[in-house]
């Protein structure tokens, strides 16, 4: 039986490579397309910028744009890309516009080191903390209830599911979308406040993908939104001309910020007590002090995102040949 199975598999792949007449070749799997992107052609905006017409032969036609009309402030030639995105609550049009992002701001003369955590979202070197909102944890019961309702309407073995199932699935997806938007707006607000209050911001260069492999902390780390916060922090730092520095996270929580000795402690130990110099401080605040000290040693070197040295993946900014460009999104087509 094993030999016959292996022979059938070998014959199948041989036929795929040989392109046998009547066969379709290698299998092609369709994926759920959630977006389509256009360059400078294939679309046309109406004179009042309240509708967009697609002329690529896909019969999309004319769509009405709802929401804020920021497009009126830009010339048509500044629009470099148009992307249609499907989300749980409808369709969106994203416009990539070639525009100057830099904004002049007054210097404050302040520097801050930030430690990202789960008890506190951020803790700085002066002892100030921002609570962790835990948007997913607070909505977990509602999500589980919506997921159960969706599962009850699923018919195993049916090729086409009922309309009630698709409605329940959409309600479940919209709840997840709402949580992600809450997290994004929270990170955006905190990052903006930090950048406006300081001229130099230091934080840890965390490997979030590696940290979520911890099955005990994966949900809490994903719910915290550290990567989103860092992206907004670097974007606002670039926009307002502030220095943002990512430092290696190695032993920032273990080293004493007063004398420099290593004081080993588990994750459950929330207070740093140095047996060498007697320094006592919250472990997150102690780490923030160490992060700021490391940042002051690396200004101008690798890890500094300032004075135009912005990573291309930063949210809302895509570096182009003619300058900077920003994404403008019109909600609800």
Domains, the chain, in order of start with CATH, read: 29-99+315-333 (no CATH), 111-134+180-299 (3.30.420)
Tell me, yes or no, if the pTM score tops 0.85: no
Can you give the pLDDT at residue 321? 29
What is the Cα–Cα distance from 41 to 64, expressed in whole angstroms? Answer: 19
Stronger pLDDT, 188 or 105, i.e. the higher one: 188
- Could you give the C-alpha distances from 162 to 24, 87, 106, 192, in angstroms and in order? 32, 21, 58, 45
What is the Cα–Cα distance from 225 to 223, expressed in whole angstroms? Answer: 6
Can you give the pLDDT at residue 325? 38
Per-residue pLDDT of 240-278, as tens digits, reads 989 999 999 888 988 998 888 888 988 888 889 898 888
Task: Evaluate whether 131 touches 138 at the Cβ level (below 8 Å).
Answer: no
How far does Cα 7 stand from its chain's mean position? 47
Kindly tell me the sign of the dihedral angle through the C-alpha atoms of 245, 251, 254, 259. negative
Can you give the pLDDT at residue 184? 95
DSSP H helices, 153-245, are 163-197, 208-211, 218-224, 226-239
Q: Please report, rounded to a whole number, the percentage of residues in the chain having pLDDT higher than 90.
A: 42
Residue 299 — very low, low, confident or very high, per pLDDT cuts 50/70/90?
low
Task: Evaluate whether 247 touches 205 at the Cβ level (below 8 Å).
Answer: yes
State residue 265 phi and psi, 5-degree precision: -155, 150
């Amino acid at each position: 039986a094993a030999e016959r199975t292996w022979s059938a598999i070998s014959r199948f792949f041989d036929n795929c490579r040989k392109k046998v007449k009547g066969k379709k070749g290698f299998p092609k799997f369709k994926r759920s397309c959630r977006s389509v992107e256009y360059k400078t052609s294939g679309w046309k905006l109406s004179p009042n910028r309240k509708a967009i017409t697609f002329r690529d032969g896909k019969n999309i036609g004319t769509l009405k744009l709802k929401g804020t009309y920021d497009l009126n402030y830009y010339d048509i030639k500044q629009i470099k890309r148009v992307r249609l995105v499907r989300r749980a609550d409808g369709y969106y049009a994203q416009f990539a516009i070639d525009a100057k992002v830099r904004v002049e701001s007054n210097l404050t003369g302040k520097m801050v080191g930030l430690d990202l955590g789960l008890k506190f979202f951020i803790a700085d070197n002066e002892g100030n903390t921002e609570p962790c909102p835990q948007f997913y944890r607070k909505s977990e019961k509602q999500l589980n209830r919506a997921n159960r309702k969706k599962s009850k309407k699923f018919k195993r073995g049916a090729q086409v599911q009922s309309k009630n199932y698709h409605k329940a699935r959409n309600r479940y997806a919209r709840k997840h979308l709402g949580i992600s938007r809450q997290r994004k707006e929270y990170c955006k607000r905190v990052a903006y406040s930090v950048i406006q209050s300081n001229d130099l911001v230091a934080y840890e260069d965390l490997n979030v993908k590696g940290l979520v492999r911890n099955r005990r902390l994966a949900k809490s780390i994903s719910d915290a939104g550290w990567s989103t916060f860092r992206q907004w922090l670097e974007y606002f730092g670039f926009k307002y001309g502030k220095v943002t520095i990512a430092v290696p996270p190695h032993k920032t929580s273990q080293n004493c910020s007063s004398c420099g000795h290593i004081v080993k402690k588990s994750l459950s130990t929330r207070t740093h007590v140095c047996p060498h110099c007697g320094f006592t401080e919250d472990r997150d605040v102690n780490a923030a002090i160490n992060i700021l000290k490391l940042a002051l040693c690396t200004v101008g070197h690798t890890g500094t995102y300032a004075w135009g040295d912005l990573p291309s993946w930063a949210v809302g900014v895509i570096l182009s040949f003619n300058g900077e460009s920003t994404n403008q999104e019109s909600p609800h087509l």
